[in-house]
Chains A and B, each alone.
Chain A
Amino acid sequence: EPEVTQTPSHQVTQMGQEVILRCVPISNHLYFYWYRQILGQKVEFLVSFYNNEISEKSEIFDDQFSVERPDGSNFTLKIRSTKLEDSAMYFCASSDGGSNEKLFFGSGTQLSVL
């Protein structure tokens, strides 16, 4: 079965540093998402991306965050200047349509900001 791939599985960074989390969505999918889960809290929606632009974003997704699809296969989340509170598990997801029935998630990147 096709799967969404995320790298790295763990990322440790110093506060104030930039990080880029990488995702390879399923190849024929058109809609891409980032979610995150702070330890002990709920999985939260960050952003959705379609047709090379952000289609929706949450209030968490401020100017420190950006997303990009730099080529035909990768989908990245950049955090420009990390804060301690950015420590979380970040999940990438993709779907082939806007329907919520076909959302495929990656296994996540655990980001630790020290």
Chain B
Amino acid sequence: GNSVTQMEGPVTLSEEAFLTINCTYTATGYPSLFWYVQYPGEGLQLLLKATKADDKGSNKGFEATYRKETTSFHLEKGSVQVSDSAVYFCALAPTGGGNKLTFGTGTQLKVEL
């Protein structure tokens, strides 16, 4: 079946540091890939997505590239801010669409001044 593996947290960074959160997946066919973010006390929000190989999703300075050859979708940001402190979830949707998402465990990011 489908699965998503992401790096364990918590990750603690200083403001303006470079962020990478690794995510790899196992799936048949051509899944869509997502990063969701959960700020304290709020629901999961879609951060970015990519629907086919080599697509790059981007939003709010975050980027992730759909790499089919390495089955990866690593999240990156060049300069994090304190306001980026949240839990980040990597997820995939199966080939053909639908909303039965498969999630990773989530990675907590804490950004300090």
Contacts and interface: CB of A to CB of B under 8 A. Distances in A.
Interface residues of B, number: 24
Contact of B101 (A31, A37, A103, A108): A103
B105 A95 contact: no
B103 interface: yes
B42 A107 contact: yes
A106 B101 contact: no
Contact of A98 (B45, B89, B99, B103): B99
Interface string A94-108: 010011110111111
B100 A45 contact: yes
A57 B44 CA distance: 21
B32 interface: yes
Interface string B67-94: 0000000000000000000000101010
B45 A100 contact: no
Interface of A: 3-4, 6, 31, 33, 35, 37, 40-45, 48, 56, 58, 91, 93, 95, 98-101, 103-108
